[in-house]
Chain A
Amino acid sequence: MWQWLVRLYHRLGSPKWFYEMTERWIFWLALAAGGSAIVGLVLGLLYAPADYQQGDSFRIIYIHVPAALLAQSAYMMMAVAGAVYLIWRMKMAAWVAKVIAPVGAAFCLIALLTGAIWGKPTWGTWWVWDARLTSMLMLLFLYFGVMALQQAMESEEASYKAGAILALVGLVNIPIIKYSVEWWNTLHQPATLKLTEKPSMHPDMLWPLLIMIVSTYLFFALVVILRTRNEILWHERKRQWVRKILES
């Protein structure tokens, strides 16, 4: 098992292997992401019952929660890829980190905007400086900082290193976001989905949410793979195997 993982790790470092391998995945990933998004949205928006207190406005959860989860997962992936680049100097890891940053930032922005739209009718305000909302805003700024650093310097390598270091420093924000609602008094409610307990949500409302979460992660995988392939083509454009692809 360990041997296999090491071999996979070495292969992932090869742009050519990654490019050829993912060729076959794109279609199925797109199909799975699109299909599950349609199923999840139809179930969530049309078939799930309205909430006993919020009525229909709770349905924004089907966008808000997957986007917020993904924004945090993407950040962790970006930081790990950055660490791999700093330690092993693997070019692929740097490209993956660079490719993830804008996607994660977009999902973070979606989470913040949908949260504000939901907050107005539910809480009575668009925004409040509580620990959860503020730490999520910090995540967005961290994404912006990493994106800026990744392109800040003359040498590509130095920029990637700077971006990776900021990403690793910002990693401390992730547990703060997660536990903000437990450590401090916040306006934002505690998590509905818990890893160790039963979710505090009716099954008819829960299933569309779980489908939407899976769909969002699939979509993220698809986008990251597509963008990494572009990055590979650009950086390896002078290599023989890329020229062959471009000519055909």
Chain B
Amino acid sequence: MHPQRKKRLHLILFLVLAVASAVGLAMYSLSQNINLFQTPTQIANGEVPPGRTIRAGGLVVEGSVERDQQGLGVTFRVTDGQSEVPVFYDGILPDLFREGQGIVALGEVNTEGLFVASEVLAKHDENYMPPEVQAALEQAHQDGKAQMEAAAKEASY
């Protein structure tokens, strides 16, 4: 390669690497701010001061959704598998909101540890399948569970 072209090639490689490392370091140090939401564990550990507006994200705990008798108020718990945070929200939930589904709520933790949300967004996962397949999976899951239970019963005799 022509020496001058080689020099330019090296210069360009250096430029790209320098920019990449600079941006990489900046991103690394800002990663807490780039995260869109905090996990329930972070909130339970007291990493979030009460009264500060944050987003909390996690899965809605099965069977935890309780709707108010009057109005739109709804309470549920959000989990990341380790800790749970109770959430209260007064408003219209997105269509995809359901138990077991991921959500991201905007709001603040009050002094009693309740997360009061002013906005709830549904998080969608990367899985796509037709309803029949989903039903078949569910069925297989339940059959498997029943079989396991039967086997466990037999084993205990």
For chain B, which range describes its interface: under 10, 10 to 19, 20 to 34, or 35 or more residues? 35 or more
Of the 9-residue stretches A44-52, A141-149, A151-159, A238-246, which lies at the interface with chain B?
A: A44-52
Does A54 touch B at the CB level, under 8 Å? yes
Pair A172/B15 contact, Cβ less than 8 Å: no
Pair A123/B124 contact, Cβ less than 8 Å: yes
Shortest Cβ gap from A79 to chain B (Å) = 9
Mask of B104-130 contacts with A, CB within 8 angstroms, 1/0:
100000000000000111111111111
Pair A58/B128 contact, Cβ less than 8 Å: yes
Does B79 touch A at the CB level, under 8 Å? no
Pair B122/A168 contact, Cβ less than 8 Å: no
Known interface pairs A128-B36, A183-B31, A202-B133. Does A189 touch B128 (Cβ–Cβ under 8 Å)? no
Cα of A203 to Cα of B128 in the assembled complex, Å: 10
Mask of A76-89 contacts with B, CB within 8 angstroms, 1/0:
00000001001110
Known interface pairs A49-B130, A168-B16. Does A124 touch B94 (Cβ–Cβ under 8 Å)? yes
Chain B residues contacting A125 (CB-CB under 8 Å) are 119, 121
Cα of A184 to Cα of B55 in the assembled complex, Å: 13
Q: Which residue of chain B has the shortest Cβ distance to A58 in the bound complex?
A: B128
Partner of B130, one of A185, A200, A205: A205
Shortest Cβ gap from A23 to chain B (Å) = 31
Query: CB within 8 Å of B: which of A163-198?
Result: 165, 168-169, 171-172, 176, 183-187, 189-192
Pair A185/B128 contact, Cβ less than 8 Å: no
For chain A, which range describes its interface: under 10, 10 to 19, 20 to 34, or 35 or more residues? 35 or more
Pair B36/A123 contact, Cβ less than 8 Å: no
Pair B96/A185 contact, Cβ less than 8 Å: no
Chain B residues contacting A58 (CB-CB under 8 Å) are 128
Partner of A172, one of B23, B126, B130, B133: B23
Cα of A224 to Cα of B36 in the assembled complex, Å: 37
Pair A52/B131 contact, Cβ less than 8 Å: yes
Chain A residues contacting B19 (CB-CB under 8 Å) are 169, 171-172
Does B20 touch A at the CB level, under 8 Å? yes
Query: CB within 8 Å of A: which of B1-54?
Result: 5, 8-9, 12, 15-16, 19-20, 23-24, 27, 31, 34-39
Mark B residues whose CB is within 8 Å of A.
5, 8-9, 12, 15-16, 19-20, 23-24, 27, 31, 34-39, 57, 93-96, 104, 119-134
